[in-house]
Amino acid sequence: MESGFLFQALVYLSAAVLIVPLAKRLGLGSVLGYLLAGLVIGPSVLGWVGNDAEVMHVAEFGVVMMLFLIGMELEPKTLYKLRVSIIGLGGLQVVLSMLGISLWSYFQGFSWKEATALGMILALSSTAIVLQSLSEKGWNRLSAGKSAFSVLLFQDIAVIPILAILPLMVTKSIESSGHGAEWVQNVSSPVKAIIVLAAMALVVVIGRYIVGPLLRMVVRSGMRELFMATSLLLIAGIAFLMQQVELSPALGAFLAGVVLANSEFRHELESDIEPLKGLLLGLFFLSVGASIQLVFLSDHLLEVLKWVGALTMIKLIVLFILGKIFGLSTDQNFIFTFSLAQMGEFAFVLFTVTGQLELLSPETINLMTAVVALSMALTPILLLITEYQILPKVGTTQVDGKKKEYDEMDENNGVIIAGQGRVGSIITRFLRTKGVEATVVDNDSDRVELLRKYGFKVFYGDITRYDLLKAAGAEHAKIIILAMNSQDDILSSARVVKKYFPHLTIVSRSDSRQTTYELLNLGVNKVYPITLDASLKMGVDIMEMLGHRKYSAYRSAQKFRKHEDFLIRKLAIHRMDSPEYFQINREMINDLEQAIQNDMEDPLLLVKEAWDEEGRKNEYTSDKKFLN
Amino acid sequence: MKNKILIIFTHPVYEHSEIQQLLIREARQKEFVTIRDLYQLYPDFDIDINEEQKQVEKCDVMIWQHPLYWYSAPPLMKQWMDLVLEHGWAYGLNGNALKNKLILSAISTGGDAYAYSDEGRHYYPVRDFLLPFRQTARLCRAYYPGHFMIQGTFNIDEMSRNKKVREYGILLDQLHSARWSSGLEGVNLELIDYLKH
């Protein structure tokens, strides 16, 4: 069997490309799709890829990136607001699930040590699956999603003490988790604690003081790929640092993300990392799918099913009760409960550790790996059941409730302003005086810096990109204002928005007739040729200087504006049919010619207004006979 | 101290109105008259409220001069009233800016006196149509004795027209030195459609 890099890539990519869209079309969600694809290409079915630990390792980086992105979505303020549910709900979930699972394991014949280890490991849910599934269904903004997130966050933190406790449970001393730097492992616990704290502090310092200037420097170099490289370097560096001090890389990345949540580069970082994260997570799920051993499953089917059933039940009960206590409404509680009922990917990591510690026997680990993989695979199905079977029955207030909680969670603004040049900054300032806070995006980092100095909330990024639009909240906004200087950018943004966010009303600046035509032909109706109003205003003042009444000049300008608008729309249609579309110069002269002709013919510009007295004067002579 | 006169003038097509041009030219010759040509000042209807109030505060007599359009003033006159005559300034408990000032209307109508009689097409006399202005002045505790009027401008002959314009000049002169602590003194009441209060 071939095993070259290209062949591997071919297999993974084609499995993803072929099976995932199919799964999504069938309403199964992408996670289940990846798992299925993994199963198909894995040793159990086609055997095209092995159960490759290396691949798994790379793929785990996707989880790290995901937590980095999650961190960036969360400002420290939000995190502080969530403290009760993180510590209370998350803490209780971990402790109670652990107790329940440990007890069950103990009664299944494991020693108390093994039972405790299993309890700790299996109490954790799958951050990757849950967050991906929730956001696919749009549930991450509900209060159920918020609560689930708090629990997951606590679990991610809980991995650290678990990693610390596991070695204490055996007399055998090994190289603990096996990843840390030697000098860190050889120091005593208090010193270790100081090192860990110092590492965390270092992450904060890097995020706050070094990343910003570094990215600014990179941006000035004008090379896009360097920005991406810097983003990756940042995450890889933090993951490495965390590993050195034996912390979870995911947690370090999360911390870095939180620190960078307020950065002006947030949206750009997000849009750079997002697709990579998606790919790596996909790879991660593929690997999990591939690790499901069908033979083992069929041999120990009853055993596996028993464990999956029992563990899921324990988790469901614990979660449902906690959800109730923490005030989730019934429908929210079902979403919350069913989304977190599986075992998580940390289990695979922790099983490796327990294997090294000889805390659990290889048979147990084999069985439990199957159990975890199966329970992960079951999550999308459980959520489907929740969505289509349970929610329609209990969710009486779902629509209203959804709306309200969506607003609550919603940090996006209804208005996105792209471009902070002369045009965009005026709009931003004007809207702000009326209390309209817009999400502002600009691709000039110096300007972003300047505006931020004066307290404007500006994000750095390229608005012509789909993922940046998404990160800027295009899915939930109502209006997007395209105010960039570059006409090309305006047109490509308009195309992307029209295609992917058709609900958005586009309000666009236009600096040339070409742009106006193309925007109109794209179906953008709110087009504002920025030169028109200023030119007409000059015209009005010139008329006044020539001795005309200002109001009459003003009215003429108003009429001319309407005339021009009509004309440009007419020419835009003509332009669409024109075969010499690309002969721009010639066309422009034609346009001018046509415009001038139209100016002389348009009745709107010639007819006098209602208060013109000529007509009435003539008619009035017929009343003359009544004169006294 | 003689009275300062402020004319709030609104006409959207002033350049086409001979009679208004003559009236304004007449008024312009008096150094004690200030004219606010609103359509020239605020073609976009964005009235400078502070400046307008300052002008009003400086005057003793205010004349609202405009053609009668659809039995009322052109829209910018109404905009001026809406924006400038603020509560707490022009009226209300502490609104004393117009208190004891003299306010008149100066109106031109295309139709003649017959048209504004109960046999004419407009049926009501002009003073009836000016009721909102009269009451506005009253609410602002100003004295509104009536209105100057030039009618039948659609086909007025030159002689009667010039006579009317001269009368406007005379009225302005008389208002310059008039008193109105009890009734209007020093003004020929026939020049205005005098209202007995």
Which residue is closest to B69 within chain A, CA to CA? A611
pLDDT tens-digit map of A453-480? 776 667 777 788 887 888 788 888 899 9
**Among residues A25, A409, A514, A67, which one has the least CA distance to residue A248?**
A67
DSSP A395-426: -TTHHHHHHHHHHHH----SEEEE--SHHHHH
Integer Cα distance of B101 and B84 in angstroms: 16
With cut-offs at 50, 70 and 90, classify the pLDDT of residue A406: very low
pLDDT at residue number A208: 81
Give the model's pLDDT for residue A348: 74
Q: Tell me the Ramachandran region of residue B36: left when phi exceeds 0, alpha when psi lies from -120 to 50, beta otherwise.
A: beta
Cβ within 8 Å, pair A612-B16: yes
Q: Is the pLDDT confidence value at A623 over 70?
A: no
Q: Tokens 């109003």 — which residue?
A: A533
- Same-domain status, A393 and A443: no
| pLDDT winner (highest mean) among A156-170, A269-283, A414-428 | A414-428
Cβ contact, residue pair A553, B43, below 8 Å: yes
> Alpha-carbon distance A379 to A396, whole Å?
24
User: Looking at the structure, do residues A430 and A390 belong to the same domain, yes or no?
Assistant: no
Structurally, chain B folds into a number of domains equal to: 1
Q: B71: helix, coil or strand? A: coil
Cα A309 from Cα A34, distance rounded (Å): 23
Averaged pLDDT, B53-60: 96
Whether the per-residue pLDDT at A250 is higher than 80: the answer is no
The winner for highest mean pLDDT among A217-221, A250-254, B25-29 is B25-29
Name the pLDDT band for B8 (thresholds 50, 70, 90).
very high
A342 and A460 in one domain? no
Model confidence at A174: pLDDT above 60: no
* B196 lies in some domain: no
Percentage of residues in chain A having pLDDT higher than 70 = 82
Q: Same structural domain for residues A396 and A431?
A: no
pLDDT at B68: 94
pLDDT, mean of residues B147-167: 91
* A293 and A437 belong to one structural domain: no
Residue B188 covered by a domain = no
User: Residue A498 and residue A364: Cα distance in Å, rounded?
Assistant: 54
As a whole number of angstroms, the distance between CA A478 and CA B26 comes to 57
Q: How many domains is chain A partitioned into structurally? A: 2
Containing structural domain, residue A477: 412-510
Whether residues A390 and A497 share a domain: the answer is no
Closest CA to A362 of A349, A374, A351: A351
Residue A184 lies in a domain: yes
Range of the domain at B91: 5-176
Please give the structure tokens belonging to residue A388: 């289509």
Give the pLDDT score at A481.
94
Residue B30: CB partners within 8 Å, gap ≥ 6? B5, B169, B172, B173, B176
Same domain, A138 and A214: yes
pLDDT band for position A392 (50/70/90)? Answer: confident
- Chain A residues touching B121 at Cβ < 8 A: 623
pLDDT in tens, A256-308: 888 787 777 877 788 888 888 888 878 877 877 777 777 777 888 888 899 99
Q: Is residue A389 part of a domain?
A: yes
For residues A191-212, average pLDDT: 83
pLDDT at A407 (0 to 100): 31
Q: Is residue A496 part of a domain?
A: yes
Instruction: Give the residues across from A440 on adjacent strands.
Output: A417, A458
A366: confidence class by pLDDT, cuts 50, 70, 90: confident
> pLDDT tens-digit profile of B64-101?
999 999 999 999 999 999 999 999 999 999 999 999 99
How far is A419 from A458, CA to CA, in rounded Å?
10
Nearest CB to B114; choose among A555, A616, A627 = A627
Distance CA B197, CA A479 (A): 59
Per-residue model confidence (pLDDT) at position A590:
66
- Look at residue A614 and tell me whether its pLDDT is greater than 60: yes
Length of chain B: 197
Residue A597 has pLDDT above 60, yes or no: yes
Three-class SS state of B36: strand
Instruction: Please check whether residues A78 and A195 belong to one and the same domain.
Output: yes
Write the CB contacts of A542 (distance below 8 Å, at least 6 apart in sequence).
none
Q: Does A617 contact B at CB distance below 8 Å?
A: yes
Q: How many CB pairs under 8 A join A and B?
A: 56
User: A183-187, A596-600, B6-10 — which one is most confidently predicted on average?
Assistant: B6-10
Q: pLDDT category, B5, cuts 50, 70, 90? A: very high
**Percent of all residues in chain A with a pLDDT value above 90, rounded to a whole number:** 15
Residue A581 pLDDT exceeds 50: no
ipTM of the complex: 0.83
Q: What is the mean predicted confidence (pLDDT) over A481-497?
A: 90
State the average pLDDT for chain B: 93
Q: Is A110 helix (H, G, I), strand (E, B) or coil?
A: coil
Q: What is the pLDDT of residue B124?
A: 93
- Within a domain: B58: yes
Q: How high is the mean pLDDT of chain A?
A: 79
Q: Residue A499 belongs to a domain with what CATH number? A: 3.40.50.720
Contact residues, A window 521-580, toward B, CB-based 8 Å cutoff: 540, 548-555
Q: Are residues A257 and A166 in the same domain?
A: yes
* Total residue length of chain A: 628
Q: Which of B11, B155, B157, B160 to mutate to test the interface with A (most CBs of A within 10 A)?
A: B155
Shortest distance between the Cα of A608 and any Cα of chain B, in A, equals 11
pLDDT of residue A51: 61
Judged against a pLDDT cut of 70, whether residue A624 lies above it is answered with: no
Distance of CA A133 to CAs A9, A69, A611, Å?
A: 25, 16, 66
| pLDDT given at position A483 | 93
A397 and A483 in a common domain: no
pLDDT of amino acid A29:
66
Q: Do the Cβ atoms of A127 and A156 come closer than 8 Å? A: yes
Beta bridge partners of B107: B66, B149
Residue-level pLDDT at A536: 93
Answer yes or no: is B191 within a domain. no
Question: In whole angstroms, what is the distance from residue A475 CA to residue A478 CA?
Answer: 9
| Average pLDDT, integer, range B112-119 | 89
First to last CA, chain A: 117
Answer with the residue of higher pLDDT: A592 or A132.
Answer: A132
Q: Is residue A609 part of a domain?
A: no
Task: Work out the average pLDDT over B15-29.
Answer: 93
pLDDT above 60: residue A410: no
User: Does residue A598 fall inside a structural domain?
Assistant: no
Cross-chain residue pair A627–B112, CB shorter than 8 Å? yes
pLDDT band at A176 (very low <50, low <70, confident <90, very high): very low
| Interchain contact, A620 vs B17, CB within 8 Å | no
User: Has residue B28 got a pLDDT over 80?
Assistant: yes
pLDDT in tens, A119-149: 999 999 988 788 878 877 767 767 788 889 8
Q: Which of A455, A485, A510 is the last residue of a domain?
A: A510
CATH of the domain at B18: 3.40.50.360
What distance in Å separates residue B3's CA from the closest CA in chain A? 30
- Asked if the model's pLDDT at residue A194 lies above 80, the reply is yes
What is the distance, to the nearest Å, from the Cα of residue B40 to the centroid of all Cα atoms in its chain?
A: 17
Task: Examine the domain organization and report whether A37 and A70 are in the same domain.
Answer: yes
CATH code of residue A313: 1.20.1530.20
Is residue A554 in some structural domain? Answer: no
Higher pLDDT, A368 or B89: B89
Residue A548 is assigned to a structural domain of this protein: no
Q: Which of A13-22, A515-524, A577-586 has the lowest mean pLDDT?
A: A577-586
Tell me what the mean pLDDT of segment A348-374 comes to. 81
**pLDDT value at position A625?**
45
User: Is residue A89 over pLDDT 80?
Assistant: yes
Residue A607 has pLDDT above 80, yes or no: no
Helices (H), A47-188: 53-73, 76-81, 83-84, 91-107, 112-122, 127-137, 143-168, 182-185
Sheet harboring A526-529: ordered strands across? A458-460, A439-442, A415-418, A479-482, A505-510, A526-529
pLDDT tens digits for range A332-346: 888 899 999 998 877
| pLDDT value at A186 more than 70 | no
Q: Assess whether pLDDT exceeds 70 at residue A585.
A: no
Inform me whether the pLDDT recorded for A563 exceeds 90.
Answer: no
Nearest CB to A551: which of B39, B119, B152? B39
Residue A374 and residue A475 in one domain: no
Domain end residue (candidates: A363, A378, A405): A405
Are residues A623 and B121, on separate chains, in Cβ contact within 8 Å?
A: yes
Write down which residue in A358, A374, A405 finishes a domain. Answer: A405
Which chain A residues have a beta carbon less than 8 Å from that of B114? 626-628
Cα separation, A332 vs A140, in Å, equals 11
Residues of chain B contacting residue A628, judged by C-beta atoms under 8 Å apart? 113-114
